[in-house]
Amino acid sequence: MEANIDTPVQYLKGVGPHLGRAFQKRGITTIEDLIHWYPRGYQDRRAARKISDLKEGELVSLRAQVVGVRSQNLGRSKRKMWDVVLRDSSGVIHCKYFRTPYKGYFERFSPNMFVRVEGQVTLYRGNIEFHHPDIRDDESDDENLDAIIPLYTETEGLSPRRISKIISLAFNRLEGKIEETLPRWLLEKYKLPPREVSLRALHIPPEESGLDFSQRKSKYHRRVIFEEFFWMQLVLMSRKSTAIRLKAHQMSGNSSTIKAFIESLPFSLTHDQEKALGEIIEDLNCPHPMHRLVQGDVGSGKTAVAFLAAAYTLVNGNQCALMAPTEILCEQHYKKAKEIFEPLGFKVGFLTGRMKKSERELISNQLTSGEISLVIGTHALIQEDVDFKSLGLAIIDEQHRFGVHQRRLLKTKGLSPHFLVMTATPIPRSLAMTLYGDLDVSLIKESPRGRKPVVTRVVFESKRAQVMGFMETQIKAGRQVYIILPLVEESEKMDLKDAINEYEKLKKQYPKIRFGLIHGRMKSEEKEESMNLFRQGKLDALVSTTVIEVGVDVPNANMILIEHSERFGLSQLHQLRGRVGRGEHKSYCVLMLGNAVSEDSRNRVRVMAETNNGFEIADRDLEIRGPGDFLGTRQSGLEGFKMANMVRDFEILVEARKAAQEVIARDPNLSRPEHSKLKMELSRGDGFLALATSG
């Protein structure tokens, strides 16, 4: 049978139905999937390693002998930690697993057997060890004893050696059949090797390969990384080019009302706020739709800028919609908007999914007739039965909490409305270029005048008595406190505190303190009631999950205690810390660490005590967790990068973006013969490409 890239992998010699199913578990069904299953690293067997020589952070491979395997329960939960102890002539090292790679993984090790271990060296309590390394049988008859060999993630039924042999066979069958995807002029300008040569080299490293391979810096790695970035950037540049050709609600330039409105504010705008507002108004005066992202650090006043943009839209005779991710945040925006806009003669509407059908129909009719000028709501705004008379501006707050499909639906609610997205999660430049390359960006980094930085401390469980005593002192002084837990209810799988049990426990321990509870499983009415009681000062402390992460504004709350802070990303901790420091009182954030926290986790959380700058924190968070976890898996497109890394490969990202801009500038519709392959690849719409184009 003749093979091509679409041939099912099971038809390769030596695979068959059984191994074909093993590959399917990894999402590999065709030969094309197989050759894009890149090695996770490389082992240079020309430089043998010893345990005593290992250093923290190194990705290494070494031959060792099994001492034994043991396991122990983690805290109160039923979860186990497995420890495979290895030795060589220079010392002993522990390989720890907090989850089982697959059934029977540990049963295959017996004392004194020789194995190959590959992984990153970690330092824990002064000792080096491996966490979740790949351990496989040592194959002494391996012909690659003196070479650089690719390392693949071990899969049940498929050893790395066998995977490598199957992939080599695939390339032999496909020789000359792997098509080039990029135009010749682009390959020559950016000095990129051919696609087939590059893909083969990643799996079968040339003999002359050196350190550049293990660091993914070879010219072949650069080619694959460049192409991954290029496709995403081409989609974004194409989308931006299309948007420019659309017609929008062009504003008249009437700014006298806005100037009076700004002068009536009880505070002065910062330089960054003024600059962002100026950029927005300039866009609104253009004949094509605005697509702008406003990044504002926690407490920087981006909501004020959004309301001013809404005011400019309303005085020019258009409607405005503001969509936020939670009812709590919508309710807060709605109350502020009524205070601001209704005295000026603009009716403000409120729309959420939990409203009665009759209430929803009334709001929808008032939007269709134009009676409502500004509507604030959740995803209920994008339902089919919601229409506008003249939607001029669509605003999305905390936009990363929505999927691209939801954002696209809001854009369809008018005749090419202007589009403004806001986030209080500072986004590193590399991520913004990748995810929002089609948007213009306004930054608000300055804090409003008089806002004090939050004092942040990282503490261990042993300091709990002092922390709780400090909490009592703040409450006695008339202040309020947030207590954040990672779980709603107790879990057998995770040894973590939960909101419900902690709430009951604290009420008994501190009977004089008025505690409230809020979490995501409560009914909307219950959450709203708890939040209102806290806002009104009728509760001293609010025990909560991360449901209060964004937007909640209670100026009298000046302390937040975050339990198991090692379980949160840095950007999420920064968001939670932003719930305090909103009033005149000195504010505090206490980051409590759980038991048995690794040194890496402790050092990561300590970043919070070093800076209040959300942009610095975001850069560190992206570097540590990667883009998928940074914004959540709903941010489609980021999981599509198989080789590229936005932090490590930022310079290549900049090059790929420039290349995509050149392509669109030369040929906006990709109609030239040399760009036919580009057009075909875009129309295929698979992987992160399809998800990017859906936005």
What are the distances in angstroms from CA 647 to CA 226, 310, 606? Answer: 14, 36, 21
pLDDT value at position 527?
A: 86
Predicted confidence band of residue 354 (pLDDT cuts 50, 70, 90): confident
- Residue 376: exposure state from Cβ atoms within 10 A (0-12, 13-18, ≥19): buried
- CB count, 10 Å around CB of 525? 10
Domain ranges of the chain: 1-37+152-174, 42-143, 279-444, 455-611
pLDDT value at position 633?
A: 41
pLDDT in tens, 71-123: 988 766 667 889 999 999 999 999 999 888 888 889 989 999 999 887 888 88
CATH fold of 455-611, please? Rossmann fold (3.40.50)
Q: Find out if CATH 3.30.70 is the number for domain 1-37+152-174.
A: no
Predicted confidence band of residue 202 (pLDDT cuts 50, 70, 90): very high
Return the H-helix or E-strand segment holding 41: strand 41-44
Q: Which residue's structure tokens are 């350190």?
A: 211
Task: Tell me the sheet residues that pair with 93.
Answer: 86
DSSP, residue by residue, 73-100 = E-TTSS-EEEEEEEEETTEEEEEEESS-
- DSSP tag of 218: S
pLDDT in tens, 288-298: 888 888 988 77
Cα separation of the two ends of the chain: 41
Q: Which of 157, 91, 150, 156 has its CA nearest to residue 121? A: 91
Q: Using DSSP bridges, classify how beta strands 418-423 and 291-296 pair: parallel, antiparallel or unpaired.
A: parallel
Q: Which CATH class is domain 279-444?
A: alpha beta
Q: Is 200 helix (H, G, I), strand (E, B) or coil?
A: helix
Is a pLDDT exceeding 50 seen at residue 693? no
Alpha helices in 114-215 (DSSP H): 160-174, 184-189, 195-203, 211-214
pLDDT in tens, 29-43: 999 999 999 998 887
CA–CA separation, 621 and 600 (whole Å)? 13
Mean pLDDT of 404-415: 58
- Residue 670: exposure state from Cβ atoms within 10 A (0-12, 13-18, ≥19): buried
Are 108 and 49 in contact by the 8 Å Cβ rule? The answer is no
Q: Which of 168, 519, 467 has its CA nearest to residue 328? A: 519
Please tell me the number of Cα atoms within 13 Å of 625 on its side-chain side.
25
| E-strand stretches of 337-445 | 348-351, 374-377, 391-396, 418-423, 440-444
pLDDT value at position 503?
A: 93
Proportion of the chain above pLDDT 90, given as a percent? 34
In CATH, which of 2.40.50.140, 3.20.20.60, 3.30.390.30, 3.10.20.30 is domain 42-143? 2.40.50.140
Is a pLDDT exceeding 90 seen at residue 587? yes
Q: Read off the tokens for 665.
A: 């500038």
Is a pLDDT exceeding 80 seen at residue 262? no
CA–CA separation, 296 and 272 (whole Å)? 9
Mean pLDDT of 438-465: 84
pLDDT value at position 694?
A: 37
Mean pLDDT of 315-326: 89
**Which is more confident, 59 or 411?**
59
* Domains 279-444 and 455-611 agree in fold: yes
Is a pLDDT exceeding 50 seen at residue 687? no
CA–CA separation, 391 and 313 (whole Å)? 9
**Which is more confident, 47 or 170?**
170
Q: Is 169 helix (H, G, I), strand (E, B) or coil?
A: helix
pLDDT value at position 504?
A: 93
Q: Read off the tokens for 426.
A: 């500072």
Q: Using DSSP bridges, classify how beta strands 374-377 and 391-396 pair: parallel, antiparallel or unpaired.
A: unpaired
Least confident of 2-6, 196-200, 484-488: 2-6
Indicate the angle between helix axes 160-174 and 195-203, nearest 10 degrees.
Answer: 160
Is a pLDDT exceeding 70 seen at residue 146? no
pLDDT in tens, 604-636: 899 999 988 888 888 888 777 666 555 554 444
Q: What's the distance, CA 439 to chain centroid?
A: 18
DSSP, residue by residue, 433-494 = HHHSTTSEEEEE-PPPTTPPPPEEEEE-GGGHHHHHHHHHHHHHTT-EEEEE-SBSS--SS-
pLDDT value at position 636?
A: 41
Predicted confidence band of residue 46 (pLDDT cuts 50, 70, 90): low
Mean pLDDT of 383-393: 85
Predicted confidence band of residue 686 (pLDDT cuts 50, 70, 90): very low
Predicted confidence band of residue 151 (pLDDT cuts 50, 70, 90): confident
Q: What is the mean pLDDT of the chain?
A: 83
pLDDT value at position 690?
A: 38
Is a pLDDT exceeding 60 seen at residue 145? no
